[in-house]
Chain A
Amino acid sequence: MGHIWDAPLAHIARSVRQKELSVTELVAHALARIDTVDRRVRAFLTVDGDGALARARLLDAQGTDGVLAGLPMAIKDNISTRGIKTTCASKMLEHFVPAYDATVVARLADAGTVLLGKLNMDEFAMGGSNENSAFFPTHNPWDVTCVPGGSSGGSAAAVAAGEVLFALGSDTGGSIRQPAAYCGVVGLKPTYGLISRYGLVSFASSLDVIGPLTRTVEDAALVLGVLAGHDARDATSASITPPSYVEALTGDIRGVRIALPREYVAEGIDPDVRDAVFAARAVFERLGAHIDEVSMPHNEYAVATYYIVASSEASSNLARYDGVRYGMRVDDAQGLQDMYTRTRSVAFGEEVQRRIMLGTYALSSGFERAFYGQAQKVRTLIAQDFRAVFDQYDIIIGPTAPTAAFAMGAHTSDPLTMYLNDTYSIPMSLAGVPALSLPCGADARGMPVGLQVIGKPFAEVDVLRVAHAFEQATTHHLRRPALRDAYAAKEADA
């Protein structure tokens, strides 16, 4: 199984469709890997082994012609799955079982995938290290003393450790791209509105998107093709017909105009990360692209803007958790108000409470115009920076994060430092543009470094084509964590 497991998703799905490969074998292989590897990585909150094997046997018996036929995958635990717990890694929803599937879950099922389970994350997607999970932290497969990033840390770690063939995450300010960078996999944040948010538990509704985490750009294009497209159940879903993303992967980027903002490689970036970005620039030039340095002057205000906007929206969205209709409720409450307050105080973790407090402050009487209103206007200027660059360029590149994965516990007592770590991923979320992170090197410790490829709204085709050309011209995506290699060796011995 080892050889086929590492093949492109399109190849594996084709083998399933042609009945050269059994879905049951694929799923059994995945479950065995999870059983071995996840004791150290801890990417999964819920493994639905029985459900996955039953689904696999059904697909084997009935056959499937889906684009993603038979592919075992898993989903971040803030995306609703009917009949399977969806906890958001929070004690508030520890026992919550949704009554419906998210649109993306239904589309993946229609495409023939097999859901293995639900993946760990920072509570309610608030965090960049996975240390804010209310249950346990996920570990980076490249070095288990390091964080996998977040908030989709479980998704990135599961893909990197070879526990799943691909995963879904969500991205509000970098939550797909940063963990993808830290774990050495590909993570795509699509344009806001391209993929339905129906069934995604809301954090910051004007920023939240769902996207794939995969081993290669080609795999990301294949999965995106299944997920993208209008959904009447999401009022912010765009009315567009997605193109064929896989056909865009021509390998030819001659004449593509690429911008590298000076602000993305300025003070504060780790020298190893900066070197990797400059090395990537040289690769693009060798491939025939034209690259210039540009300026995006409002970039330095992105983190402050984001934490006001996102926290304000979060304080509003999380007001629904009151212990009445679903989720946790404290016992022995002395009246309704006491039940609300004590339930929220016991069930929300520290970071979620911090964000709710910040958002409530920003929206409170006398401060709303000063903070939320000001941040909304600065957001306009940040989006205008992108439009100005995209008037002259097709693509923007830069680092995904200022450093590679950091040690667990390094920033837990200093939330502001943790927030500043999002400095290169937040502007794209505020502007709503698509951005993809892919491996572009390693730091001195050997930890993966991510390159971000950013495009115009709904120009995922351009993002994928440029990222794919880079990937094919380099070998960074072929590196695998030692932990995964150890498993493969054990498998070979068996």
Chain B
Amino acid sequence: MHEQTDVASHVAALALLHLDAQRHAALAQQLHEIVQYAHKLYEVDVAHVDPMSHGVVAAVPWRTDTCARDTTVEQLLHSAPAREGTFYVVPPVIE
């Protein structure tokens, strides 16, 4: 159980999530059960099998790298949580 909660704490930190105690315990247990289920993948012999990263293997078509100005700065900043002029505002990066 300790190992499960330690793993959940480590993963939550990597994922930039903060879990309260109750949620932490529940997620640790669920994560454990799902990972245990996923272990069935080791039943499969993949010794000479290439990994597949996309559903349909097709050549990605080349296109010209052109500059498009479909959106304005104002449109892009419209949904910003905080802004100042044409900049996003964030909390201090250096304390």
A111 → B minimal CB distance (Å):
21
- Asked whether A193 and B27 contact (CB < 8 A) given A324-B90, A344-B16, A364-B11, the answer is no
For window 398-429 of A, CB contacts with B under 8 Å fall at 415-416, 419, 429
Determine if B55 and A329 form an interchain contact, defined as CB atoms under 8 angstroms apart: no
Asked if B21 is at the interface (CB within 8 A of a chain A CB), the reply is no
Determine if A415 and B34 form an interchain contact, defined as CB atoms under 8 angstroms apart: yes
Whole-angstrom CA separation of A230 from B60 in the bound complex: 11
Asked if A280 is at the interface (CB within 8 A of a chain B CB), the reply is no
Determine if B38 and A308 form an interchain contact, defined as CB atoms under 8 angstroms apart: yes
B84 → A minimal CB distance (Å):
13
Determine if A377 and B11 form an interchain contact, defined as CB atoms under 8 angstroms apart: no
| A contact residues around B78 at 8 Å (CB) | 97, 99
Asked if A192 is at the interface (CB within 8 A of a chain B CB), the reply is yes
| B contact residues around A364 at 8 Å (CB) | 10-11, 14
Determine if B46 and A327 form an interchain contact, defined as CB atoms under 8 angstroms apart: no
Whole-angstrom CA separation of A334 from B90 in the bound complex: 11
For window 1-53 of B, CB contacts with A under 8 Å fall at 7-8, 10-12, 14-19, 23, 27, 30-31, 33-35, 37-38, 40-44, 46, 49-53
| B contact residues around A193 at 8 Å (CB) | 55-56, 58
- Asked whether A373 and B15 contact (CB < 8 A) given A324-B90, A339-B91, the answer is no
Determine if B41 and A378 form an interchain contact, defined as CB atoms under 8 angstroms apart: yes
| A contact residues around B70 at 8 Å (CB) | 100
For B45-85 the 0/1 string (1 means CB < 8 A from A) is 01001111111101011010000001110011011111000
The residue that B56 contacts in the complex, of A95, A230, A238, with Cβ under 8 A, is: A238
| B contact residues around A337 at 8 Å (CB) | 16
B interface residues, tally (CB under 8 Å): 54
The residue that B92 contacts in the complex, of A303, A335, A345, A381, with Cβ under 8 A, is: A335
Determine if A326 and B79 form an interchain contact, defined as CB atoms under 8 angstroms apart: yes
For A174-209 the 0/1 string (1 means CB < 8 A from B) is 000000000000000001110000000000001100
Q: Which residue of B lies closest to A361 (CB)?
A: B11
| B contact residues around A416 at 8 Å (CB) | 30, 33-34, 37
Determine if A377 and B55 form an interchain contact, defined as CB atoms under 8 angstroms apart: no
- Segment among A125-133, A258-266, A349-357 that sits at the interface with chain B: A349-357
Determine if A308 and B16 form an interchain contact, defined as CB atoms under 8 angstroms apart: no
Whole-angstrom CA separation of A328 from B80 in the bound complex: 9
| B contact residues around A30 at 8 Å (CB) | none
| B contact residues around A232 at 8 Å (CB) | 61, 63
Determine if A315 and B52 form an interchain contact, defined as CB atoms under 8 angstroms apart: no
Whole-angstrom CA separation of A457 from B55 in the bound complex: 9
| B contact residues around A95 at 8 Å (CB) | 79
Whole-angstrom CA separation of A329 from B55 in the bound complex: 35
Determine if A357 and B8 form an interchain contact, defined as CB atoms under 8 angstroms apart: yes
Asked if A5 is at the interface (CB within 8 A of a chain B CB), the reply is no
For A286-315 the 0/1 string (1 means CB < 8 A from B) is 000000000000101101110110000001
A339 → B minimal CB distance (Å):
5
The residue that A304 contacts in the complex, of B7, B38, B60, B72, with Cβ under 8 A, is: B38
Whole-angstrom CA separation of A235 from B61 in the bound complex: 7
| B contact residues around A335 at 8 Å (CB) | 91-92, 95
B88 → A minimal CB distance (Å):
6
| A contact residues around B17 at 8 Å (CB) | 341, 344-345, 348, 353, 356-357
Determine if A377 and B51 form an interchain contact, defined as CB atoms under 8 angstroms apart: yes
Q: Which residue of A lies closest to B18 (CB)?
A: A345
Asked if A358 is at the interface (CB within 8 A of a chain B CB), the reply is yes
Q: Which residue of B lies closest to A297 (CB)?
A: B44
For A251-271 the 0/1 string (1 means CB < 8 A from B) is 000000000000000000000
The residue that A336 contacts in the complex, of B14, B58, B90, with Cβ under 8 A, is: B90
- Asked whether A99 and B16 contact (CB < 8 A) given A329-B81, A353-B27, the answer is no
Closest 4 CB pairs of A and B: A432-B55, A376-B51, A329-B81, A99-B75
Contact sample, A vs B, 20 pairs, CB 8 Å cutoff: A232-B61, A232-B63, A238-B56, A301-B41, A308-B41, A325-B79, A327-B81, A329-B81, A333-B91, A353-B17, A354-B30, A360-B14, A360-B15, A361-B7, A364-B14, A377-B46, A377-B49, A378-B41, A429-B55, A457-B56
* Contact surface of A with B, Cβ cutoff 8 Å: 95-97, 99-100, 191-193, 206-207, 230, 232, 235-239, 298, 300-301, 303-305, 307-308, 315, 319, 322-329, 333-342, 344-345, 348, 350, 353-354, 356-358, 360-362, 364, 371, 373-381, 383, 415-416, 419, 429-433, 457-458
Known contacts A358-B34, A430-B52; 19 further A-B pairs (Cβ under 8 A): A95-B79, A301-B43, A301-B44, A304-B38, A325-B76, A325-B79, A326-B81, A339-B90, A341-B16, A344-B17, A353-B17, A357-B8, A361-B7, A361-B11, A374-B46, A378-B41, A380-B49, A381-B44, A416-B33
